[in-house]
Every structure is written in C-alpha cells, then in structure tokens.
C-alpha cells in the first residue's frame, strides 16, 4: 500500500508521518525516507531494526498524547542497538489533509518517472517475472496476444492484449527495457529485431539457449543487422551461472538484472550464451 493510500484509509484514527530529515555516515535509509504509523499498522520503512521500532513507539505515543510533531537526533551506535555508525535526524508529524494531498501528488509524479519495462509473453516465465517486478519501482507492462493468460496479476502490472506486439516496441518511450519471452521463436526474433533497432533502449533481453541465440544472430546479420546491435542483446536473460530453469528462478535472476541495469551504475554483461533452453 502506498503512503497516500495508507493515510486515506487510516486518517480517521490518526497517522504520524516519520521521515528521515538528515542522514550522515552509514545509515539504513537515506534522507527523505518516510513511513506512516497508525495505532495498529504501518506503511513504508525508514530502515527497520531498532531505529524503526523506536520511532514507531514515539509515533504511537504522539497519537495517544495528541502531540502534533517531534524531532529526534539519533546516533546509530550500541545504545540504539544498531552498529551502523551513522547518525539520523528524524521528523515526526501528525498527518493532515494537506499531507495526504502532497503525498498523493508526489507518488503520482514518481510513477511517471519510473523506468519503463515491457514484457512480451505471459507464459510461465513471463507471469513469474511480472509478479517479481510488481513491487519494484518500475512501470511494468505485460503484453500477449492470447486470451486469459494475464488474468489475476497485481494491479501494478499494466496488461495489454494485442495481435501484433511489435507496435508497442515502436511506441515505447526512450530508455525503456524490453524483455522478450513469448510462446513463439519467430515472434521472439521479430520483437528482438525491433527492440535492437531502438538505439535508446536501456535493456534488450531474450529468453533462449545458445542455439536459439546463434540462429537469431545468423538471421539478424543476413538481414543487414550489425554486430554492434547484437552486443546490446542479453541472452539468456538472468545469466547462465545458475543452472535452474524454473520460471520463478529465471524471474528472480532477471528482476535483479533489471534492477542493476535501470537503477544502478553498471550495465549488465551483454552477449551471454545459455547452456540450456528455459521454458517461456
């Protein structure tokens, strides 16, 4: 649940917003990290551990006493039961209608800025990957041409049924990531060619084996494709250092790869080859 949704649900009973106002040294969360605390529930996190437990206790004292705000200056040492070694200043504030409006606007703006991830194929691995990405800070879209295969997925996943999903690659915003794991090798090849034609793609991944990749490369080069474009293709998705082809395992590895690519400072290794063909 988002903080705005939590405030909307619990505001009648009172909610305290707990925010890291400043952080120095080694700390579990950065300045700006916020959580919401009601009498019986919480949403978000400021890092867990004794720091968070202590702030929850203070927030609930505020709710009981009717206090409007508090400020804490906490060294994260043995006295707090955390050995991070840093220091945080925490601002606690009784939430108001204005806070709800501000959080809703901030979360809406954040959603617009989230990296775009397009998944092509809602088979076993595609669904598992959609589920793995649902709680992550991505704008994830799952695309398939079949009826019923996208039912029951979290609301965080946008589902699109369309006969020719190649058009979604052409319409995607700059910097999008494309993960191709459809039910058809021929469709996978078409989608991968279209994705590699986008020089602004952040990530192009295709599920497959060494044999599938070799066939794709041969076809791609015969059609006039360039080796430079092939160097931007990640296949297999998720790497080949874990010899476990269960959909949930491939999904977890690929989700980690996307986090590193889209949110980190390093690009994933390109051009990797698989030893086996995972099932889409």
Nearest-10 crossing angle of helices 3-10, 97-113: 150
| Last-in-domain residue among 110, 130, 146 | 110
CA distance 125 to 205: 13
DSSP state letter for 38: -
pLDDT given at position 165: 92
Residues 149 and 252 in one domain: yes
Residues 105 and 214 in one domain: no
Residues 189 and 82 in one domain: no
Residues 93 and 33 in one domain: yes
pLDDT given at position 271: 43
User: What is this structure's pTM?
Assistant: 0.80
pLDDT in tens, the chain (280 residues): 899 999 999 989 999 999 999 999 999 999 999 999 999 999 999 999 999 999 999 999 999 999 999 999 999 877 676 777 789 999 999 999 999 999 999 999 988 889 999 999 999 999 999 999 999 999 999 999 999 999 999 999 999 999 889 999 999 999 999 999 999 999 999 999 999 999 999 999 999 988 999 999 999 999 999 999 999 999 999 988 898 999 999 999 999 999 999 998 644 444 444 333 444 4
Give the residue from 172, 171, 204 showing the smallest Cα distance to 188. Answer: 204
List b or e across 82-111, with b for residues whose CB sees 16 or more CB atoms inside 10 angstroms.
bebeebbebebbbbeeebbeebbeeeeeee
pLDDT given at position 273: 41
Cα dihedral sign for 89, 94, 96, 100? positive
Strand partners, 89: 22, 73
pLDDT given at position 223: 93
Please compute Rg for the chain using Cα positions.
Answer: 23
Residues 104 and 118 in one domain: no
Residues 191 and 137 in one domain: yes
Domain containing 238 equals 114-263
CA atoms within 13 A on the CB side of 144: 23
Residues 119 and 106 in one domain: no
> Is the separation of the CB atoms in 166 and 107 below 8 Å?
no
CA distance 18 to 262: 28
pLDDT given at position 277: 42
- CATH number, domain of 255, equals 3.40.50.720
Residues 135 and 253 in one domain: yes
CA distance 32 to 45: 11
pLDDT given at position 280: 46
What are the tokens at 69?
């705000």
CA distance 204 to 227: 14
Q: How many domains does the chain have?
A: 2
Helices (H), 47-176: 49-65, 97-113, 124-133, 166-171
pLDDT given at position 274: 39
């Amino acid at each position: 649940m988002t903080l705005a949704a939590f405030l909307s649900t619990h505001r009648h009973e009172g909610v305290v917003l707990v925010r890291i106002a400043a952080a120095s040294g080694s700390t579990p969360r950065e300045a700006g990290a916020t959580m919401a605390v009601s009498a019986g529930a919480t949403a978000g996190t400021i890092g867990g551990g004794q720091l968070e437990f202590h702030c929850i206790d203070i927030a609930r004292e505020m709710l009981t006493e009717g206090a409007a705000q508090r400020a804490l200056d906490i060294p994260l040492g043995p006295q707090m039961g955390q050995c991070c070694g840093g220091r945080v200043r925490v601002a606690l504030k009784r939430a108001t209608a204005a806070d709800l409006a501000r959080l809703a606007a901030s979360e809406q703006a954040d959603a617009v800025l989230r990296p775009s991830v397009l998944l092509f194929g809602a088979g076993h691995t595609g669904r598992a990957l959609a589920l793995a990405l649902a709680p992550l800070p991505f704008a994830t879209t799952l695309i398939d041409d079949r009826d019923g295969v996208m039912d029951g997925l979290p609301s965080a996943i946008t589902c699109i049924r369309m006969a020719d999903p190649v058009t979604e690659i052409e319409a995607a915003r700059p910097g999008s990531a494309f993960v191709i794991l459809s039910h058809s090798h021929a469709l996978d090849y078409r989608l991968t060619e279209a994705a590699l034609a986008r020089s602004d793609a952040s990530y192009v991944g295709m599920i497959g084996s060494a044999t599938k990749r070799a066939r794709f490369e041969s076809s791609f080069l015969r059609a006039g494709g360039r080796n430079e474009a092939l160097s931007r293709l990640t296949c297999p998705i998720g790497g080949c250092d874990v010899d476990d082809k269960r959909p949930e395992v491939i999904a977890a590895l690929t989700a980690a790869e996307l986090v590193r690519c889209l949110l980190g400072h390093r690009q994933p290794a390109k051009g990797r080859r698989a030893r086996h063909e995972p099932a889409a």
